[in-house]
Structure 1
Amino acid sequence: MYQEERLHTITEHLHTHERIAVDDICRWFDVSRDTARRDLSKLEARGEAVRTHGGALLAEKRHPVTDYAGRLQLVSEEKKRIGSMAAAMIHPGERIILDASTTVQACTEAMPDIACTVVTNSINQADILSTRTEVDIHLLGGHLDKEHRFLYGTSVIERLKTYQVDKVFLGVLGVSENGLTLAHEEDGWVKRQMVKQAAEVIVLADHTKLGKADFFTYAALEDVDVLITDRPPSPAFQSILAQHHVSVQTADADKGATS
Structure 2
Amino acid sequence: MYKTERLGNIMDILNQKKVVNMRTLENLTFESRSTLRRDLIVLEGEHKIRRKFGQVELVNGNNMEFGYHTRSSENKNSKKIIAELASDFIGNNQALIIDSSTTAAYLEPYLNEKNNLIVITNGLQLAMKINSNPEIKTYIAGGKLRPFSGSIVGDTAREFLGDFHADTAFISCEGINADGVYMASDEQTAIKKQMINQAEHVILLCDHTKINKSDYYRMCDHTSIDMIITDVKPTDAFVQSMEQTGVEVVYENEQI
TM-score, normalised on structure 2?
A: 0.71
Cα deviations across residues 111-151 of structure 1 (Å, max 9, x unaligned)? 22421100000111101111222000000100001211111
- The 8 Å contact of residues 82 and 229 in structure 1, kept in 2 or not, is answered as yes
Matching residue of 2:108: 108
Give the 5 Å matches for 1:1-259: 65-111=65-111, 112-250=113-251, 252=252, 255=253, 258=255
Secondary structure at 1:82 match in 2: helix
In structure 1, what residue type is equivalent to 2:105? Q
- Provide the rounded CA distance (Å) in 2 between the counterparts of 1:178 and 1:109: 34
In structure 2, what residue type is equivalent to 1:238? V
Matching residue of 2:41: none
- The 8 Å contact of residues 91 and 114 in structure 2, kept in 1 or not, is answered as no
> What is the deviation of 1:179?
1.3
User: Which structure 2 segments of 5+ residues have no match?
Assistant: 1-63
In structure 1, what residue type is equivalent to 2:166? V
Moved more, 105-114 or 118-127: 105-114
- Provide the rounded CA distance (Å) in 1 between the counterparts of 2:237 and 2:248: 15
- The 8 Å contact of residues 75 and 102 in structure 1, kept in 2 or not, is answered as no
- Provide the rounded CA distance (Å) in 2 between the counterparts of 1:125 and 1:220: 27
Cα deviations across residues 199-227 of structure 1 (Å, max 9, x unaligned)? 00000111111111111111111111011
- Provide the rounded CA distance (Å) in 2 between the counterparts of 1:189 and 1:222: 17
Matching residue of 1:16: none
- Provide the rounded CA distance (Å) in 2 between the counterparts of 1:195 and 1:157: 11
- The 8 Å contact of residues 249 and 258 in structure 1, kept in 2 or not, is answered as no
- The 8 Å contact of residues 201 and 225 in structure 1, kept in 2 or not, is answered as yes
In structure 2, what residue type is equivalent to 1:89? F
1:115–1:183 Cα change, 3 Å:
same
Aligned alpha-carbon RMSD (Å): 1.5
- The 8 Å contact of residues 113 and 132 in structure 1, kept in 2 or not, is answered as no
- The 8 Å contact of residues 75 and 103 in structure 1, kept in 2 or not, is answered as no
In structure 1, what residue type is equivalent to 2:212? G
Secondary structure at 1:230 match in 2: coil
- Provide the rounded CA distance (Å) in 2 between the counterparts of 1:190 and 1:178: 20
In structure 2, what residue type is equivalent to 1:236? A
Cα deviations across residues 132-172 of structure 1 (Å, max 9, x unaligned)? 22000000100001211111111111111111110000011
Secondary structure at 1:232 match in 2: coil
> What is the deviation of 1:90?
1.0
- The 8 Å contact of residues 116 and 136 in structure 1, kept in 2 or not, is answered as yes
Spell out structure 1 runs of 4+ moving beyond 2 A.
108-111
Secondary structure at 2:78 match in 1: helix
User: Which structure 1 segments of 5+ residues have no match?
Assistant: 1-63
> What is the deviation of 1:65?
4.2
Secondary structure at 1:117 match in 2: strand
- The 8 Å contact of residues 87 and 110 in structure 2, kept in 1 or not, is answered as yes
Matching residue of 1:5: none
TM-score, normalised on structure 1?
A: 0.71
